[in-house]
Structure 1
């Protein structure tokens, strides 16, 4: 018997019954690894396509594949004046992606990663496949037309959608849909930033938020496969090129690094607060216009275009500017201007309904803050300005997202500066600590918190979670009419083997409950067997459909009852909660844990079969 990786009782995917191929994948880790690799290939190809789409639309909009290398120049193909290009490009793109997103995938608006986190932790990993298509188009138009946004959020959402779609098509159980969706997210980061290890850690630290040897193995397979596909097409180059290896010159500079961790961490945290402050302001203004939501990116895109005319350095992702800052080419004043501009332009791009990530802008802001810091302390520090710029990138992301391991790994993989791991770790820890001290939410979870979606509620880890009783109550065993005699109630209790039963009137409304103990006491007190239930003292305790587990359990504990009826708004009995059902639920949960503990490998089964007797 093969070692199953499926837990009993898990729900099947909504896509249909488990297919033969799905059964094989669900029951064999090797085939699940193959599925993870397939997800990696798909996501790697999607990342390559996404990059080509951004470059293509940038070229169509400006005549160049990377406008920030040609700032201020007229259109490279048709010679249009630069101010016309910058003013109209965001509007033209928004006229396409605005209606597209509103009609087919509203969740494709914004930076994408919060939606993936919600789907993985609350919706069984199920992400509609159409989101991948809409997100690719909308984000490539947003970034290619000048929107100040990153590529990581879109490709994470695309990758998770592809992984979820494959798992759903196979009909895999919920835990495997979640796993393959996370594999897709890991592959997206790995392929986009050429950072397979950071991609795997990102999936575990930000998306899944739990580490197991099994899940780590699968996301690594997907991340490595996606990275191989991207590198095979795009070349084996770092995303942000730094002139020569950067050396951390002196251990005495660790004091400066610790201070930079605080400064850059607060800068990243400040950006996350500004992002939602601007979004709130835009929402308030747009609500008063009465215009349709699909037109919002185009109408407000005029403001983005005007901003680009005034400060064209904010066009697109701005990687060339980061490289120049790390090379020490800019003054402190201009670095701070770039930092503030990126924070404001990204907030506006996302606020008007653009589709793009906030990961890359956070790194940009951190690079500028770190480089400016390096220039200020240059007379007293031994290390080069670029060292502090690279460390600032990681610290800013840690302050905004509180993902310290991802922050360390992705920066050193993006830049190839592996020698900076030690100071990077210190700065990232300081930034994470400062962020956690000042706020509960991150740049990703804040979006969910503001609309009422809580990811890390401790109550969710309990057996019944936070679900109202209506979602976990059992069926009513039998409702007794209040006109029935006591003898009929005794017979019903004997027949159903229930300790108590609800009593209702002629209209079906709840009157009370009668238990076997109540019936015995009444008979002992010489109550007539023919006495109608309506004339007898009945229990009045009941639960409402909206009551939570704590309320129901407290009532059972306080009253000493073995069961409670659940009442709807019209006081009709709609469900039943009994101690027997709760014990059964506890037993099934325990069995799932025991079965999971018994999972074995092919090697252990081989040894058991061939063990000398």
Structure 2
């Protein structure tokens, strides 16, 4: 009992320190980064172990870099992984939709389920380990973000700090995976938190560096991107690469559309959800018989195609088959993301572009390796998002500042192309298909939480519509109130009457009731309405005050809301969000 009391007291003291002091938050960020580094190491080693066991490759070899899968029956391992995933889907068929870090930060103030995220990590390892054409990055960031969210909730962090903590988990995971702290940090800024500010730079960078160092110390096999050292670029070389950036944006849109079509095709196939991954695994295995480069995320295949001279026909074939395998993998239900797959596809696309330019203009000085790096980043931006994330990835992979400028320019053009013609990255597009409307991780959950039920006042005085007008004038003299809510004999909302209007009306028969003076009988609010929806009703009703009812059928009066109070509360919440963004207390 004494030990438990001491632990509770220490935890309480820690909560106070974290909520009031930035140095304590940095310690928490470092712990989160370390945990993310450990998670990345464990998951990557489990996936590699599955590659070794299922496909009989060397312990240090990459699955997608093998020449052939021998014996050929081993390609059935992907279908076996799909069968295991199907069993998991059956087991959790009644569970709710799992919230990812972007959705958590945009809508739920950084709250994630650690139990659900462990399941996502397991499914990602099974998918990648069995050869499905998906990456582990989605599992990395899911688990890193969920661990950070659990720690933040135990420490009772404020909403803004909890969102930053989730960003720290993702930053540590990506930094550990790619041995790239800047890439991890800006992945968090651009994709998970949605903004770069003075308030979040220190904890996120701390987490990214911690994750990187822990993964290095544990000997994790990072997703290195090796390129030739002889990359030279001058100002006159920029135009072809800028065109490549735009084309990469268009290619990103086409790939995202294709993945969606594959998803729809599997849904319309009437195959049970638990069977779809098995069918998808069979299709991927069939493609792997031609070239194993379609398997897993493609780290080994990326290296092969970047450093070796590959014929145009083979490059094009691998590009088409890799796109098809990614679409089949995600459409059939394998768990994973497109982070590294988009980099691999971009590298292939860039080399093909360089070969095409050289064939058309033999005097062109375009460098195939440089084009591969530029397209890798630009296509990654188009699919994943984050121009600075991909720019820092290129910088940390190549160590070449000369190419970084053109990578940033091409990435920005790709981002603009996708935003103008499509509007979503792959992460937010998948959410859009589920019915969400968010386009980034910027916090909009507070706005959805600002409902009519939270803003209305409940001390509403009502009168019956059958009340005589003379009795009403006696009960509500001029100046006592402006409006009175009217109900029928069953307590159902019947409208609002203006006290001044009844007093100004000429007196008539004693039988006259207040019924003819009722206004806005068909304009009402509901407790679950958001502030935006309520503002539209006020605009249509042209009224300063509206009644809140419990439902459209029962119409029982539960509250009253004024337009002035609605906009005042909206302005207060908006100012709070601005202050959180600026790092003000």
Question: Which residue number in structure 1 is paired with residue 84 of structure 2?
Answer: 96
Decide which moves more: 297-306 or 177-186: 297-306
Task: For 2:20 and 2:572, locate their aligned partners in 1 and report how far apart those are by CA, in whole Å.
Answer: 20
Question: Which residue number in structure 2 is paired with residue 543 of structure 1?
Answer: 524
Task: For 2:475 and 2:583, locate their aligned partners in 1 and report how far apart those are by CA, in whole Å.
Answer: 45
2:552 equivalent to 1:569: yes
Decide which moves more: 544-553 or 46-55: 544-553
Question: Which residue number in structure 2 is paired with residue 604 of structure 1?
Answer: none
User: Normalising to structure 2: TM-score of the pair?
Assistant: 0.85
Shift of 1:317: 1.9
Question: Which residue number in structure 1 is paired with residue 482 of structure 2?
Answer: 499
Question: Which residue number in structure 2 is paired with residue 298 of structure 1?
Answer: 278
2:226 equivalent to 1:241: yes
1:526-569 superposed Cα distances (whole Å, 9 cap, x missing partner)? 579x9785566333443143876566546656766442112322
Query: Against the structure 1 CA distance between its residues 599 and 299, is the aligned structure 2 distance closer, same or farther, given a 3 Å change threshold?
Result: closer
1:439 alignment partner, one of 415, 418, 422: 422
2:252 equivalent to 1:272: no
Decide which moves more: 195-204 or 344-353: 195-204
2:22 equivalent to 1:26: no
1:161-187 superposed Cα distances (whole Å, 9 cap, x missing partner)? 111111122222222221111111111
Query: Against the structure 1 CA distance between its residues 309 and 488, is the aligned structure 2 distance closer, same or farther, given a 3 Å change threshold?
Result: farther
The answer on whether the counterparts of 2:78 and 2:132 sit within 8 Å (CA) in structure 1 is yes
The answer on whether the counterparts of 2:287 and 2:321 sit within 8 Å (CA) in structure 1 is no
2:63 equivalent to 1:67: yes
Decide which moves more: 404-413 or 481-490: 481-490
The answer on whether the counterparts of 2:18 and 2:24 sit within 8 Å (CA) in structure 1 is yes
Question: Which residue number in structure 1 is paired with residue 43 of structure 2?
Answer: 50
Question: Which residue number in structure 1 is paired with residue 343 of structure 2?
Answer: 363
2:298 equivalent to 1:335: no
Decide which moves more: 273-282 or 355-364: 273-282
2:304 alignment partner, one of 296, 301, 324: 324
Task: For 1:38 and 1:246, locate their aligned partners in 2 and report how far apart those are by CA, in whole Å.
Answer: 39
In the TM superposition, 1:390-469 aligns within 5 A as 390-456=373-439, 469=452
Task: For 2:114 and 2:502, locate their aligned partners in 1 and report how far apart those are by CA, in whole Å.
Answer: 58
2:158 alignment partner, one of 173, 185, 190: 173
Question: Which residue number in structure 1 is paired with residue 6 of structure 2?
Answer: none
Task: For 1:435 and 1:160, locate their aligned partners in 2 and report how far apart those are by CA, in whole Å.
Answer: 27
Shift of 1:411: 2.4
Q: How many residues align?
A: 564
1:559-587 superposed Cα distances (whole Å, 9 cap, x missing partner)? 66442112322232233112463365257
Task: For 1:304 and 1:598, locate their aligned partners in 2 and report how far apart those are by CA, in whole Å.
Answer: 48
Partner SS for 1:43: helix
2:566 equivalent to 1:578: no
Query: Against the structure 1 CA distance between its residues 137 and 547, is the aligned structure 2 distance closer, same or farther, given a 3 Å change threshold?
Result: closer
Task: For 1:432 and 1:426, locate their aligned partners in 2 and report how far apart those are by CA, in whole Å.
Answer: 10
Query: Against the structure 1 CA distance between its residues 330 and 569, is the aligned structure 2 distance closer, same or farther, given a 3 Å change threshold?
Result: same
Shift of 1:69: 3.7
Query: Against the structure 1 CA distance between its residues 456 and 356, is the aligned structure 2 distance closer, same or farther, given a 3 Å change threshold?
Result: closer
Shift of 1:254: 2.0
Question: Which residue number in structure 2 is paired with residue 11 of structure 1?
Answer: none
Query: Against the structure 1 CA distance between its residues 468 and 230, is the aligned structure 2 distance closer, same or farther, given a 3 Å change threshold?
Result: same
Partner SS for 1:294: coil
Task: For 1:294 and 1:597, locate their aligned partners in 2 and report how far apart those are by CA, in whole Å.
Answer: 43
Partner SS for 1:158: helix
Question: Which residue number in structure 2 is paired with residue 116 of structure 1?
Answer: 101
Task: For 1:28 and 1:198, locate their aligned partners in 2 and report how far apart those are by CA, in whole Å.
Answer: 27
Question: Which residue number in structure 1 is paired with residue 167 of structure 2?
Answer: 182
1:255-294 superposed Cα distances (whole Å, 9 cap, x missing partner)? 3322332333333332222211222212211xx23x3x23
Task: For 1:331 and 1:48, locate their aligned partners in 2 and report how far apart those are by CA, in whole Å.
Answer: 35
The answer on whether the counterparts of 1:48 and 1:230 sit within 8 Å (CA) in structure 2 is yes
The answer on whether the counterparts of 1:91 and 1:298 sit within 8 Å (CA) in structure 2 is yes
Partner SS for 1:444: helix
Question: Which residue number in structure 1 is paired with residue 5 of structure 2?
Answer: none
1:448-507 superposed Cα distances (whole Å, 9 cap, x missing partner)? 2222201149x997996697745654325222344556687678769x975323122221
The answer on whether the counterparts of 1:249 and 1:382 sit within 8 Å (CA) in structure 2 is no
Partner SS for 1:204: helix
Task: For 1:400 and 1:295, locate their aligned partners in 2 and report how far apart those are by CA, in whole Å.
Answer: 28
Question: Which residue number in structure 2 is paired with residue 84 of structure 1?
Answer: 73
Query: Against the structure 1 CA distance between its residues 527 and 164, is the aligned structure 2 distance closer, same or farther, given a 3 Å change threshold?
Result: farther
Question: Which residue number in structure 1 is paired with residue 7 of structure 2?
Answer: none
Structure 2: gaps (5+ residues): 1-10
Query: Against the structure 1 CA distance between its residues 322 and 468, is the aligned structure 2 distance closer, same or farther, given a 3 Å change threshold?
Result: same
Decide which moves more: 224-233 or 171-180: 171-180
Question: Which residue number in structure 2 is paired with residue 517 of structure 1?
Answer: 500
The answer on whether the counterparts of 1:370 and 1:390 sit within 8 Å (CA) in structure 2 is yes
Question: Which residue number in structure 2 is paired with residue 9 of structure 1?
Answer: none
In the TM superposition, 1:177-216 aligns within 5 A as 177-216=162-201
Task: For 1:194 and 1:540, locate their aligned partners in 2 and report how far apart those are by CA, in whole Å.
Answer: 63
User: Normalising to structure 1: TM-score of the pair?
Assistant: 0.82
Query: Against the structure 1 CA distance between its residues 551 and 92, is the aligned structure 2 distance closer, same or farther, given a 3 Å change threshold?
Result: closer
Query: Against the structure 1 CA distance between its residues 576 and 252, is the aligned structure 2 distance closer, same or farther, given a 3 Å change threshold?
Result: same
Shift of 1:103: 3.7
1:376-419 superposed Cα distances (whole Å, 9 cap, x missing partner)? 44543445432222222112112334422112111222344444
Shift of 1:188: 1.6
Structure 1: gaps (5+ residues): 1-17, 75-81, 602-613
Decide which moves more: 416-425 or 48-57: 416-425
Question: Which residue number in structure 1 is paired with residue 8 of structure 2?
Answer: none
Task: For 1:432 and 1:583, locate their aligned partners in 2 and report how far apart those are by CA, in whole Å.
Answer: 35
Shift of 1:138: 0.9
Shift of 1:372: 2.3
